[in-house]
Amino acid sequence: MTELQQIAELRALGDETKAAEMAAYHKAPRVYLGVAVPTIDELARTWRADLDVAGRVALASALWDSDIHEARVAASKLLVQARIRPDDEVWRLIASWVPQFDAWAIADHAMKAGERRLLADPDRLDEVETWLDHPVFWVRRAALVGTLPWTRLRNPKPADLARRERVLGWLERLADDRQPFIQKAIGWWLRDLSKHDPQRVTEWLDAHGARLKPFARREAARWIKKRENPAQPS
């Protein structure tokens, strides 16, 4: 079978030394080419410019199915635009990737694309909520990573505040999950929210913080502590 032109382009930019370093770092058993993310991003922008939505979905699917690290990052980059219409097939493809997550980097790149689709249609949170009970912790983590945009709204509307509270309820559900990546994601979510609503994070930590691992509690409160003591290193 002839290799995709786009994968051939990625291979041509590879670096064997960097590929070996990446394989050791990410640990997930797949092919690594040793191509830097900014380079992948630039390539994806070029490919995306010549494709309609259906074409982007088809290419993203083929790149993902190659199971090459850089190709999966590129697949995610193809779908990361905020405005895509129609986007139902884009969301369905991203959601189909979630159960395949096995490393943080690919998961986070994919959920960057997922974030945009959740903001475009928040009703999809109903589906995302079902991920909280998944036996694979990467899927549970994706529910938190994909909803990070609701921590960053400077002037949230009432509907967005309700969605934020909904996800805070998810954090409560997962607070006893001992998986370090889940704990880290909870701390990350609360830390980002504390930049805009420190009082709400303080309330959450007062009610549920004792259930978190110490490192997650520290991460959640990092910016709150920084406000209280500006001289403290961040």
The pLDDT, as a whole number, for residue 225 is 80
Per-residue pLDDT band at 2 (split at 50, 70, 90): low
- Residue 10 shares a structural domain with residue 113: yes
pTM beyond 0.75: the answer is: yes
Residue 200 belongs to domain spanning: 123-234
- Segment 209-224 mean pLDDT: 96
CATH value at residue 188: 1.25.10.90
* Residues 168 and 233 occupy one common structural domain: yes
Q: What is the CATH number of the domain that holds 58?
A: 1.20.1660
**Residue 230: pLDDT over 70:** no
Closest CA to 91 of 83, 99, 79: 79
Do 70 and 136 lie in a common domain?
no
On whether the CB atoms of residues 132 and 173 are closer than 8 A, the answer is yes
Model confidence pLDDT, tens digit, residues 32-79: 999 999 999 999 999 999 899 999 999 999 999 999 999 999 999 999
Domain boundary among the residues 63, 94, 120 is at 120
Same-domain status, 127 and 218: yes
Domains of the chain: total: 2
pLDDT at 231 over 70: no
Q: Quick check: 234 pLDDT over 80?
A: no
| Res 135: pLDDT | 97
pLDDT digits over 77-126, tens only? 999 987 898 999 999 999 999 999 999 999 999 999 999 999 999 999 99
Is 31 strand, coil or helix? strand
